[in-house]
Amino acid sequence: MRELGDPEACQNPALQQTNSYGVHISAPQWQPLPGKVWEWRMSAPKELVEPGAPVSPVPPLYIQVQHLRREAERLREGSSDSNVWEAMAIRFAGALDKEALGQAWQVFLSRHDGLRSWFEVPEPAQGGPSDVLRHEVDLDAISWELAEGPEFATGDEAREYFVSQFNARTSPLRWPALYFAAIEHETGFTAIFAEDHCYCDGYSNLVAILEITALYEAAVSGRDAQLPPAGSVLQAAREERERLAPLTLQSPEIQKWAAYLAEFDEEAHRFPLDLGADPDRPSGGPWDFDLLTGAETEVLKQRCKESGGGLAAGLYAALAVTNYELAGRRKFDEFRTVSNRQKGHDASHGWFVGVVPIAFSVEGASSFTDLVSRAQQAIDASAPLASVPVERFFELLADTGFDPAAAGAETKTLPSMVSYFDMRTIAHPVSSKASTYSKVVHPSRTYTRSAQYVWFWRYHDVLNADVFSLANPTAQAALRRYYTHVGDVLRSVVENGDYTLAGSLSAEAAPQTV
């Protein structure tokens, strides 16, 4: 296995998992430096942070609703698993200035009103979905305290401690729901911020890394940080409800959701290879695969453009080819993530993501380039759904007396997901896979024998796939085989201009060696 700095690292990179995980990593892969821990803790009057607190008139974002209901169910059931949190680890050179970092945390919180909310999900009424209530904590009511934490001799010990704190202190159904800390080490220190996923998306976290860096450096130098206006997540939630309120079951976007879900084929969303059975263990992801170098990715993008699509369409086409050749799948049918940030919220720290279907046939295609245009057409066809969350469709159904949760419809609409993000749109410190910054994510236990969640990241130096799935030898072998094939398809397109589809290998006939 070659390291990222090796000039031959990408000659056949999908054959091996990489050791350099990039910015987006799972908690078990995070390698913090050991040292002394400091924590900045918040408190507020009990009447603002306990049941019975004043309820905000601002509802949650639609994408937050089901997430928060699942979190409430987890707490009621006494699950041993934690909430789905995300954390940012930002490494600084030089000695820690505790006062400056404390100031940075406070300014960061003051800029983002969504982080000053916590939520409550009362027991649902008989036969209906549960309400989700927002509570707001006024900035002036928050007190801060610097607390001395433990000291660790190894990175493993530090990671275990921080993960335990993330697990215990970031549920959005309690307050405070945020964790602010730092760990001093020989070469400097690492600032750490953790939150539940309901407060953020991947873009928000990457921007937060740069924002917190700028705030700390400004505090040290005694100047104001030059940052764009943050916008308001609460205003975004108001705008979303106002924009979607006029929709009915007869609205074109709702009809699109209805038509898609009426023909929803759960089997088509299953990962095409056997992932084994290990439901009681957390995911071992992400399984991490480098597919192309930065220069090769630019060639691939041009090939896709010549074929009538963008780079994302090319990635979906490569997945469709792989599904067909390894498992005989004649239709590509997945969910993909899209940004639905509205004007004025470019710098807002929140969860501005939509999930939309992408489906196209492989029938009659003879090559990769045939499928690129089909994938692009499918992307364009589903684009109107980006700003209409499926949760609004379910809400309209509930108004008719149909309970999607009781029917299991809400839980089965996202068995797997594909996401693509161009890291080069973020400032250079986090846009290289060799970055020392980290976005640490919780290794959720929710993956099943059929599910995979894949993030394609385009860094300056590499096109990378992070795959979250089960953690067992069968899954690891299947994923390595699958993404080796994806990499081979993409490499053929780069080197030869196209990839010709071979005859399908059935699940039974496919070789089992990797």
User: Does residue 492 surpass a pLDDT of 60?
Assistant: yes
Angle CA(235)–CA(61)–CA(264) in degrees, nearest 5? 145
What is the helix (H) or strand (E) element at residue 195, kind and residue range? strand 188-196
Q: Are residues 187 and 259 in the same domain?
A: no
Mean pLDDT of 21-30: 76
Q: Are residues 104 and 252 in the same domain?
A: no
Q: Are residues 79 and 146 in the same domain?
A: yes
Residues 6+ apart with CB under 8 A from 342: 236, 239, 352, 387
At 252, which CATH number? Answer: 3.30.559.30
Domain final position from 239, 273, 291: 239
* Residue 176 maps to a domain: yes
Q: Are residues 277 and 228 in the same domain?
A: no
* Residue 398 maps to a domain: yes
Residues 6+ apart with CB under 8 A from 257: 385, 388, 390, 393
Torsion of CA 412, 73, 121, 402, to 10 degrees: 40
- Per residue in 333-348, pLDDT (tens digit) is 999 999 998 888 989 9
Domain final position from 239, 268, 302: 239
User: Does residue 63 surpass a pLDDT of 80?
Assistant: yes
* Residue 7 maps to a domain: no
Report the range out of 267-281, 333-347, 360-374 with the highest average pLDDT: 360-374
**Count of structural domains within the chain:** 2
Q: Are residues 92 and 138 in the same domain?
A: yes
Instruction: Give the residue with greater pLDDT, 5 vs 242.
Output: 242
Domain that holds residue 355: 247-427+443-496
Q: Are residues 477 and 359 in the same domain?
A: yes
* Residue 348 maps to a domain: yes
- As a whole number, the mean pLDDT across the chain is 86
Instruction: Give the residue with greater pLDDT, 128 vs 370.
Output: 370
- Per residue in 412-442, pLDDT (tens digit) is 445 678 999 998 888 766 666 666 567 777 7
Of 242, 247, 306, nearest in space to 498 by CA: 306
List, in sequence order, every residue forming a beta bridge with 367; answer none if it has no partner: 500
Secondary structure, 3-state, 36-69: EEEEEEEECCHHHHCCCCCCCCCCCCHHHHHHHH
Residues 6+ apart with CB under 8 A from 314: 300, 301, 303, 304, 307, 368, 372, 375, 490, 493
Q: Are residues 226 and 252 in the same domain?
A: no
pLDDT level of residue 25 (50, 70, 90 thresholds): confident
User: DSSP letters along 371-386, please?
Assistant: HHHHHHHHHHHHGGGG
| Edge-to-edge strands, sheet with 438-441 | 24-26, 438-441, 85-93, 188-196, 179-185, 35-43, 143-152
pLDDT level of residue 2 (50, 70, 90 thresholds): very low
Question: Are 162 and 32 contacting, i.e. CB atoms less than 8 angstroms apart?
Answer: yes
Question: Are 194 and 87 contacting, i.e. CB atoms less than 8 angstroms apart?
Answer: yes
pLDDT level of residue 398 (50, 70, 90 thresholds): confident
Alpha carbons 83 and 85: distance in angstroms, whole number: 6
pLDDT at 223: 94
Find where tokens 């056949």 sit: 12
Q: Are residues 221 and 258 in the same domain?
A: no
Q: Are residues 233 and 264 in the same domain?
A: no
Q: Are residues 70 and 205 in the same domain?
A: yes
Domain final position from 210, 239, 268: 239
Q: Are residues 206 and 257 in the same domain?
A: no
Alpha carbons 504 and 272: distance in angstroms, whole number: 12
- Per residue in 451-469, pLDDT (tens digit) is 678 999 999 899 999 888 8
Alpha carbons 504 and 190: distance in angstroms, whole number: 50
Residue 286: is the preceding peptide bond cis (ω within 30°)?
yes
* Residue 510 maps to a domain: no
Of 195, 165, 191, nearest in space to 84 by CA: 195
pLDDT at 443: 61
Question: Are 181 and 162 contacting, i.e. CB atoms less than 8 angstroms apart?
Answer: yes
pLDDT at 228: 94
* Residue 350 maps to a domain: yes
* Residue 22 maps to a domain: no
Of 243, 422, 408, nearest in space to 340 by CA: 243
* Residue 13 maps to a domain: no
pLDDT at 414: 57
Q: Which of 149-158, 254-263, 277-286 is predicted least confidently?
A: 277-286
Mean pLDDT of 178-200: 97
Q: Are residues 304 and 231 in the same domain?
A: no
At 163, which CATH number? Answer: 3.30.559.10
